[in-house]
Amino acid sequence: MRQQFEYHPLIGYRYIAGLRARVPHESGGYLLHTNAQGFRCEHDFVPELRPGKPRRVLLFGDSFTAGDGVRNELRYGDLLEAMLPGLEVYNFGLPGTGTDQQYLCWTACAQGIAHDLVIVAVLVENIRRVASRYRPFVDEAGHRRLLAKPYFELDAGGGLRLCQVPVPREPLAPASLPPAEAGFVEQGGRHAGLRACVNALGLKPLAQRLHAYQPCPEYEDAEHPAWRLLSAILAQWATRVGEHRVLLLPLPLYQHVEQLADASAYRARFEALCEALGCQLHDPLPGLLGYGMAARRAFRFEQDVHPSAAGHRALARSLAPVLAARLGLAPS
């Protein structure tokens, strides 16, 4: 498969600019197209508003927003443009990134671009990514490697300190990682070994129901270090943009959408944070739960947990009336 990403000293990586590639996928594959700035967006980014497009939104997130698994035009950001004539969406989504890297992406790549609103789409599992310093991957030879990422620490006064920048370019062998750093490798979920066994046996939904599975326990305590770090990053981002021009969009995991896990803890954290910051919150989960179970199961792929075209469509339908009211746009 053709290489999709290139090194970036602050963010860690971004897409290769001007890329057109066919990506293999269980859906049969999809076309990936990037713009001149190295993001998966149908628009090249320009500072000024375009004629006929009086409203512009800057959209940040990870692979759920970048659209792994679907063509560009089927993603919720692109669908919003079709639903709301006059709206232009600049999609800065980057797969595999945490909210910390997305904030750095805003600082490095979005300054000087005219906009009405910044949407920060936080896949709720990203609370684990912001607390990590390395991300595992398998290289072309089949060897497990670690990719360093930028990260923030909280200082004694609660301020943010940026670390590991410029980001080391070369991947690391896990054995070369200092013992003190071993706990900062992103695991991608809890109980990895048990999870692989359960998945292989096809017992995951049953196991999650029986054991009251909680995929993101970090949200259960408002003083948890990972939540304190994530909320500090979001607070600094909102302050720099201007709180009234930020909308936080917590994206639920499929376990929440399919009611295999309790979402109340993360929902409470984001509600309290937005109230404290004075920025807007749109929680899509209640709207997604309004669909029948068969429809909700179709919001993701059979094996891949990323949103399917149906999942992106449901997210767009949830968000469109909020943006229409906020930006004074008439839905099509």
Question: What pLDDT does 140 receive?
Answer: 86
Question: What pLDDT does 13 receive?
Answer: 96
- Residue-wise pLDDT for 274-319, tens only, equals 999 999 999 999 999 999 999 999 999 999 999 999 999 999 999 9
Integer CA distances (angstroms), 36 to 18, 44, 307, 315, in order: 5, 6, 26, 27
How do the domains of the chain map onto residue ranges?
5-175+187-327
Question: What pLDDT does 84 receive?
Answer: 98
The rounded average pLDDT for each run of 10 residues, N- to C-terminus, in the chain (332 residues) is 88 97 95 97 97 97 98 97 97 98 98 97 97 93 95 95 97 93 81 38 47 85 97 98 97 97 97 98 98 98 97 98 97 89
Question: What pLDDT does 2 receive?
Answer: 64
Question: What pLDDT does 332 receive?
Answer: 86
Q: Which residues contact 280 (CB under 8 A, 6 or more apart)?
A: 246, 247, 248, 274, 326
How many angstroms separate the CA atoms of 307 and 5, rounded?
A: 21
- Mean predicted lDDT score pLDDT of the chain: 92
To the question of pTM greater than 0.95 for the whole model, the response is no
- Write the single-letter amino acid at 134: Y
Question: What pLDDT does 187 receive?
Answer: 83
* CATH superfamily placement of domain 5-175+187-327: SGNH hydrolase (3.40.50.1110)
